């Protein structure tokens, strides 16, 4: 089976490629540049950008399935960029599948497509998209998810997966930025610190994509559906953050700020960045403030029944692996990210 993975060089994409190769599948990586590990794994590489329709068309040719993970994931930047990559890029992937007769498309979405800035306590996939968006990322991902699910047909079976807070070794975003800000004394607890959140260890997220690919056929229960994915073990958000900081031998977060103050600061910074034409990420945004102060965890019943999903790596096991990665030689790079 030949599987195309878009965004193969990304955090999640690489794990999907590695697990697919371990299964014996023929993998084609679609990425903007080639990486040595791809050749080492015997992966076919097609260079390109999802914004270029012809490059995507070429990548889809001869494939039996596409797993579309490529996206811009940020809390800063211009709407046009999010739309071009996340929405138009998904349109190009759908067109490529249709043109070349690819029968399966697994789309990587996000639980944030249902986030309206308030608590989400054990919600399931019946939760609607919000009427007001707090950031460009969730809005663009909701539009792309809707395109992917509406494309489901007897010729192209589609589904959308919504992994929440992907973490683990080789993370280049969430964990490094958290540690970097803690080292610079820039972390503040937002809200009362009682909110519960779901997350998912990266290997579990990758396996879920392959499970979805296996089960996805035009006449299966999976076709045309979205699925929340997580560890199924909600944790206290700030206790978990402090546990991660402890792995990096950093003290827990002690300073606090109310949700209202953080939300207001985020609104001011967003406006200032827009006026200045800045496309980097503000230190705080309305979306980030709400995410850090509210509960958001999910009912995994649909994923368990339709996909056969059950996280193989537990929260405790994942944290041990994360700690080993942070303390390894690679850990010297943790926190060395561009300052916002």
**CA–CA gap between residue 170 and residue 318 (Å, rounded):** 13
**Whole-number mean pLDDT of the chain?**
94
Q: Is 137 a catalytic residue?
A: yes
pLDDT for position 328: 85
pLDDT for position 330: 62
Those residues whose C-beta lies under 8 Å from the C-beta of residue 203, and which sit 6 or more positions away, are 15, 19, 168, 312, 313, 318
pLDDT for position 213: 98
pLDDT for position 75: 85
pLDDT digits (tens, 9 = 90+) for 98-116: 999 999 999 999 999 999 9
CB atoms within 10 A of CB 249: 8
15, 83, 129, 137: the catalytic one is 137
Radius of gyration of the chain (CA): 19
35 has pLDDT over 80: yes
Share of the chain above pLDDT 90, in %: 92
Residue linked to tokens 């308030």: 118
17 has pLDDT over 70: yes
Phi/psi for 277 (5° steps) reads 75, 20
**CA–CA gap between residue 16 and residue 22 (Å, rounded):** 10
| pLDDT-derived band at 332, boundaries 50, 70, 90 | very low
Supply the pTM of this predicted model. Answer: 0.94
**CA–CA gap between residue 57 and residue 95 (Å, rounded):** 8
**CA–CA gap between residue 14 and residue 9 (Å, rounded):** 6
- Which three-class secondary structure string do you get for the chain? CEEEEECCCCHHHHHHHHHHHHHCCEEEEEECCCCHHHHHCCCEEEECCCCCHHHHHHHHCCCCEEEECCCCCCCCCCHHHHHHHHHHHHHHHHHHHHHHCCCEEEEECCHHHHCCCCCEEEECCCCCCCCCCCCHHHHHHHHHHHHHHHCCCCCCEEEEEEECCEECCCCCCHHHHHHHHHHCCCCCEECCCCCEECCEEHHHHHHHHHHHHHHCCCCCCCCCCEEEECCCCCEEHHHHHHHHHHHCCCCCCCCEECHHHHHHHHHHHHHHHHHHCCCCCCCCCHHHHHHHHCCEEECCHHHHHHHCCCCCCCHHHHHHHHHHHHHCHHHHHCCCCCCC
pLDDT for position 337: 34
Q: Mean pLDDT over residues 300-305, rounded? A: 98
β-partners of residue 185 are none
pLDDT for position 261: 97
CATH architecture of 2-333: 3-Layer(aba) Sandwich (3.40)
Closest by Cα among 69, 130, 146 to 296: 130
∠313-111-190 over CA atoms, to 5°? Answer: 90
Quick check: 136 and 113 in contact, CB under 8 A? no
pLDDT digits (tens, 9 = 90+) for 241-300: 999 999 999 999 999 999 999 999 999 999 999 999 998 889 999 999 999 999 999 999
């Amino acid at each position: 089976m030949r599987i195309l993975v878009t965004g193969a060089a990304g955090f999640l994409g690489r794990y999907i490629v590695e697990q697919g190769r371990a299964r014996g599948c023929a993998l084609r990586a679609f990425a903007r540049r080639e990486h040595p590990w791809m050749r080492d794994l015997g992966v076919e590489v097609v260079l390109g950008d999802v914004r270029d329709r012809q490059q995507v068309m070429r990548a889809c040719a001869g494939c039996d399935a596409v797993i579309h993970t490529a996206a811009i994931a940020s809390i800063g930047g211009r709407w046009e960029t999010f739309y071009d990559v996340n929405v138009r890029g998904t349109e190009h992937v759908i067109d490529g599948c249709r043109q070349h007769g690819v029968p399966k498309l697994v789309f990587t979405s996000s639980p944030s497509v249902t986030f309206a800035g308030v608590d989400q306590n054990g919600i399931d996939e019946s939760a609607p998209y919000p009427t007001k968006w707090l950031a460009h990322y969730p809005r663009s991902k909701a539009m792309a998810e809707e395109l992917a699910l509406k494309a489901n047909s007897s010729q192209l079976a589609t589904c959308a997966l919504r992994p929440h807070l992907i973490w683990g070794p080789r993370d280049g975003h969430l964990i490094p930025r958290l540690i970097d800000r803690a080292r610079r004394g820039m972390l503040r607890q937002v809200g009362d610190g009682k909110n519960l959140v779901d997350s998912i260890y990266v290997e579990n997220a990758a396996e879920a994509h392959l499970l979805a690919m296996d089960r996805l056929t035009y006449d299966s229960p999976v076709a045309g559906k979205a699925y929340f994915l997580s560890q199924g073990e909600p944790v206290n958000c700030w206790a978990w953050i402090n546990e991660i900081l402890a792995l990096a031998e950093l003290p827990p977060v002690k300073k606090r700020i109310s949700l209202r103050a953080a939300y207001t600061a985020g609104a001011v910074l967003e406006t200032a960045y827009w006026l200045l034409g800045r496309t980097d990420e503000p230190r705080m945004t309305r979306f980030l403030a709400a995410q850090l102060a509210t509960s958001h965890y999910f009912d995994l019943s649909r994923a368990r029944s339709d996909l056969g999903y059950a996280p193989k790596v537990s929260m405790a096991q994942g944290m041990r692996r994360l700690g080993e990665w942070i303390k390894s030689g690679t850990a010297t790079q943790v926190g060395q990210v561009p300052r916002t």
